Amino acid sequence: MSAALLEKAPAKINLNLRVLGRRADGYHELESLVAFADLTDTLTLQPGENSALDITGPFAAACGPSADNLVLKAVAALRQHIDGLTAGRFLLEKNIPVAAGLGGGSADAAAALRLLARTNDLGDDDRRLNKAALAVGADVPVCLASRARIMRGIGEILSPPLAMPPLPAVLVNPGAPLATRDVFAKYSGPQGRKTNIADLPRKPDAMIEFLGRCGNDLADAAIACVPQIAEVLERLRALPGVRLARMSGSGATCFALFASAGEAAAAARLVQAARGDWWVCPTTLGSAKGRP
């Protein structure tokens, strides 16, 4: 029996998000600077003939049926391009909240594709991996390498990897799952606004100042769906030492940036003490560890 293989699946954070317009097929054109947290799911593969998935961890119950999980959809998508693909039994430790704007499902699918690449001797640059990733979901391609990038289109247009300074942060979710489709159903504009996010500062202070001039066009629509997001943002913006607070992706998770990991950890303790019913996680944003 082959040895089990392991991959980390880092949470994805949209540091900003612009809606540039709606396409004829109903999807929205987006532009977003994406970073990754050191908060991860863990995916293990025991190579074998049959595909299966077991789920554990604090958010396992929220994942729904295993048959609908993006991990198995990633296997099916890659099989469309590779005859005789070897897969096996996956074990997913689910630590990232579900339907939270953190790309957890997409990160899991990307980790599955990396494991399948290792099992089937595929190179990291094999185009079939990217084709399968996009077939599974718009956020999966950027999660394949888990490196900071600018996403455009519906997620299929990626900039080269970006050199981003590590940003100490706190992630907070009020415990309300939020579907992306529901947020876009509430979204009413603005559209067509473009920002130049091609030249990024290399210093943390300058990066945070730069991000402060950006925004998240979906925040108002998400708050209309889950009013608690406004409360999260208000509490984050009142924390000692906070430099920036914003919602990630389509919500409901929000993040706050700090000058140091110590300040972020102290802020996380304050939020958790005040709202024990919220999910709170101190972390560092940038590119995933081991993926510079």
User: Which residues are catalytically annotated?
Assistant: 12, 139
Name, in order, each residue with C-beta under 8 angstroms of 108's C-beta and a sequence gap of 6 or more. 9, 41, 43, 69, 70, 71, 92, 94
138: nearest Cα among 159, 117, 158, 156: 156
Cα–Cα distance list, 178 to 159, 205, 215, 221, 229 (Å)? 28, 31, 19, 11, 11
Helices (H) and strands (E) in the chain, counts: 9, 11
150: nearest Cα among 22, 280, 142: 142
Name, in order, each residue with C-beta under 8 angstroms of 276's C-beta and a sequence gap of 6 or more. none
CB 85 within 8 A of CB 78: yes
Q: Residues 78, 80, 82, 86: is their CA dihedral positive or negative?
A: positive
Q: Residues 112, 251, 245, 155: is their CA dihedral positive or negative?
A: positive
Burial track 23-52 (b if 16+ CB lie within 10 A, e otherwise): eeeeebbbbbbbbbbbbbbbbbbbbeeebe
